[in-house]
Amino acid sequence: MEVLTYILPFIILLTVVVFVHEYGHYYFAKKYGVGVTDFSIGFGKEVFGLTDKNGTRWKFCLIPLGGYVKFFGDRNVFSQSEQQEILKKYNKDDQNKLFTLKPLYQRSLIVAGGPLANFVLAIFIFSFIYMVDGKDFTPAKISDVQIGSPADEAGLKKDDIIISINDQKVSSVVEVPTFVNSSTSEKLKIVVLRKSAELSFLITPKEILGKDNLGNTAKKKIIGINISPLSGEINRKRLGPATAIFYASKETWFVTKTTLKFVGSMFKGKGDTSQLGGPIRIAKITGQVSQFGIIAFLSIMAYISISLGLINLFPIPLLDGGHLMFYAIEKILGRPLSQKAQEGFFRIGMFLLLSLMFFTTINDLKDLGLF
């Protein structure tokens, strides 16, 4: 029963996020007249499905860890020399449905449509939450500074109101730990309001091994302060549609920017690679979060959707970003790369993705205490 508590929410979350991603590809494919033969949620053997009037097979498959949209006459690689062979193979009506014969900008939009749909989903979810449950706008006041802590040594004092962290405006008490822990820089620039005067401090946080809000072991950054609402009350407001979309877009951009900085820090050898997780960890966290209600579940869905969209934009062959990289090269050269060159890149992409899957699986097993 406990396994179902984790697995069922994970499958629901993954199905929605993957469906939206694939529908982004599907939408632009249909917009530009590309034939779609399969719309699949999952891989492997088909469990159930149906075929629509356009000949597209909509199906759920046995392994629910992803999905795909298959285009009419789909090919993994395509070179200029093959174009005449393709033209001979299909009649004129079928040629108009081929993805590979579409203009470069249309192919690019079809490929980018998946990640774009994930970002739109996240904005929609955040907007819904802000309109229904509200958004917190409680000013963050320091209620206590631990003696000898980084904050104490830097000069922060009780009753200081935190205005910004690393030039990011703090508009809520909940943003303080988020901005501190998501920072990839060694020092934090914290601006506070003290008796009507703005003061700036540089603080080097300490890293400790603690527990996150779900009780999982995690590395945390602390500066030695306690935060409380400025007036002693939480100020949570329900937003109108336009304001909700504004703050939802802002949150989506913040998550995207923070993720990119984290990836950059890993390439520099400074990032904490133990924080990388795969399907097992995502399933565990999804199950834990879902127990806090629908709003918490929708929040984690939005964050996973952003992650899926962003990862797919990385310039790695086999991912959407890899195809966009090929199209950029095609634009520069005036022709596609040869079939041999593309196949070589795909092998590299496969190696990188398998290596990443292996690494994240090891992290997941460690997180479960099985490795």
Instruction: Give the residue among 117, 113, 162, 135 at the shortest CA–CA distance from 250.
Output: 135
Q: Exactly one of 22, 46, 330, 343 is catalytic; which is it? A: 22
Does residue 26 contact residue 310 with C-beta atoms inside 8 Å? no
Instruction: Give the residue among 349, 168, 129 at the shortest CA–CA distance from 257.
Output: 168
- Please give the span between the terminal C-alpha atoms of the chain, in angstroms, as a whole number: 24
How far apart are the C-alpha atoms of 86 and 167, rounded to whole Å? Answer: 54
DSSP string for 41-89? EEEEEEEEEEE-TTS-EEEEEEEEEEEEEEETT--S---GGGHHHHHHH
At 12, which amino acid appears?
I
Beta strand pairing call for 188-194 and 225-229? unpaired
Does residue 166 contact residue 179 with C-beta atoms inside 8 Å? yes
How far apart are the C-alpha atoms of 151 and 261, rounded to whole Å? Answer: 24
How far apart are the C-alpha atoms of 203 and 223, rounded to whole Å? Answer: 7
Return the residue matching tokens 């003290």: 194
Q: Would you state the structure tokens that stand for residue 274, as one six-digit string?
A: 């133990």
Does residue 172 contact residue 136 with C-beta atoms inside 8 Å? yes
Phi-psi region of 167 (alpha: psi -120 to 50; beta: other; left: phi over 0): left
How far apart are the C-alpha atoms of 186 and 176, rounded to whole Å? Answer: 16
Q: Is 207 a catalytic residue?
A: no
Residues classed as catalytic: 22
